[in-house]
Structure 1
Amino acid sequence: MITTILVEHPWLSPAALALLVILGPLVGRLVADRPGAAWSLAGLATVPVVVLTMLPTDRRAFERCEVAWALPTVGRVELAANVVLFVAPVLFAVVATRRPLLVAAAGSGLSALVETVQALVPVLGRSCSTNDWLSNSIGVVIGAVLGVVALRLARPVGRAAPGRS
């Protein structure tokens, strides 16, 4: 169903990504001094990840895992949507933890775990794909960068980063 919507409206994923790039750091800046709020936003942003990757479908998946390496483009609507899927949770987790590399590694690992579960639990009706992991990981990197931007925006003007003079 979601793929049909994306095929009919291929502008949705790029528009969502543009909104995240513009608004994400600003919202992250607002919650940078409140880790609890940042974690809440990260948790809320994780709900679509769980629903869109783990909710069983009515189809049967017979293949274990597709091994293919294609970069997401506007024309590859499902891959483009997979990029967008991980941007917001990672952005807010970076703001909450202030550890972009750790969060990026965890986000990419979580995507690999999702694909592994999809491969090992065929009753979900989901297909595992290395393309999905690659697209999710690109979204993870974008989210981590946006989280760093949010933290930089939240830093008081004139104050150097710790350890710098």
Structure 2
Amino acid sequence: MITNFLLDHSALVPVAILLVALVCAVLGLLFAGRRRILWALAGVSLVPVFALTLVPAGRTIDEVMCTVQFSLPTLGAVELLANVALFLPPVCFAALASRRPLTMFAAGSALSALIEALQAFVPAIGRACDTNDWLMNTIGAVLGALLATGTAWLVNRRAQSGSSTGAMSS
């Protein structure tokens, strides 16, 4: 239903990505310092990743293959931009929970590569491997790591201004 809506209104796809980023930032701010909750959010946000990439598609691909192409998305490229949005939340929440945005970026990119390899070498799931999917997922991982870094900076700044305000009022 959401996919059909976005396909019919492809100009809204960047808005959808911004909404995903905004929700991640707000939840990151709300649960700053609550690492278990952030890990749980990272885990929950992996559910759509696995559901949309590894659940059998109801068709079988007869050969092992992977489409090799690298193209940057246009604002109307719904599938490509959806791949960006797919990896933004798990990387953002994992980076906030672990306090290691570069490591979580690398893990997100590696997970995407693993998923594409599984799609290529397990034709029974009926999914098509595509290097563009990996590239867009990796861009989503970059955005998630950057968003986590910015969110952590805001949390630290808020904590510092709160401690300096408290010291001034004493």
Alignment TM-score, normalising by the size of structure 1: 0.89
Are the aligned partners of 1:6 and 1:78 in contact in 2 as well (CA < 8 Å)? no
Task: Name 1:132's counterpart in structure 2.
Answer: 133
Partner Cα separation in structure 2 for residue 116 and residue 3 of structure 1: 25
1:11 deviates by 4.1
Residues 131-160 of structure 1 deviation map (CA, whole Å, 9 limit, x = unaligned): 00000000000000001111112111347x
- 1:59-109: CA deviation from partner (whole Å, max 9, x where unpaired): 233451000001122222111100000000100001100001100000000
Kindly provide the amino acid, as one letter, of the partner of residue 70 in structure 1: S
State how far apart, in whole Å, the 1-side matches of 2:17 and 2:112 are: 18
Letter of the 1:49 partner, please give it.
V
2:55 maps to 1:55: yes
Partner residue in 2 for 1:163: none
2:160 aligns with 157
Q: Residues 127 and 151 of structure 1: is their aligned pair in 2 closer, same or farther, counting only changes over 3 Å? A: same
Unaligned runs of 5+ in 2: 164-170
SS in 2 for 1:59: coil
Partner of 1:22: 22
1:88 and 2:89 correspond = yes
What is the root-mean-square deviation in Å for CA atoms of aligned residues? Answer: 2.0
Structure-2 residue corresponding to 1:13: 13
TM-score using structure 2 length: 0.86
CA contact (8 A) 1:48 1:85 kept: yes
Would the aligned equivalents of 2:119 and 2:125 in 1 still touch at CA under 8 Å? Answer: yes
Larger radius of gyration: 2
User: CA distance change for structure 1 residues 79 and 62 in 2, over 3 Å: closer, same or farther?
Assistant: farther
Could you tell me which amino acid in structure 1 is paired with residue 29 of structure 2? R
One-letter code of the match for 2:153?
Answer: R
1:22, distance to aligned residue in structure 2 (A): 2.5
Question: Structure 1 CA distance, aligned partners of 2:59 and 2:109?
Answer: 27
* Unaligned ranges ≥5, structure 1: 160-165
- Quote the offset at 1:118 in angstroms: 0.2
Name the structure with the higher helix share. 2
* Count of aligned residue pairs for this structure pair: 160
- Write the distance in 2 (CA, Å) between the matches of 1:29 and 1:107: 21
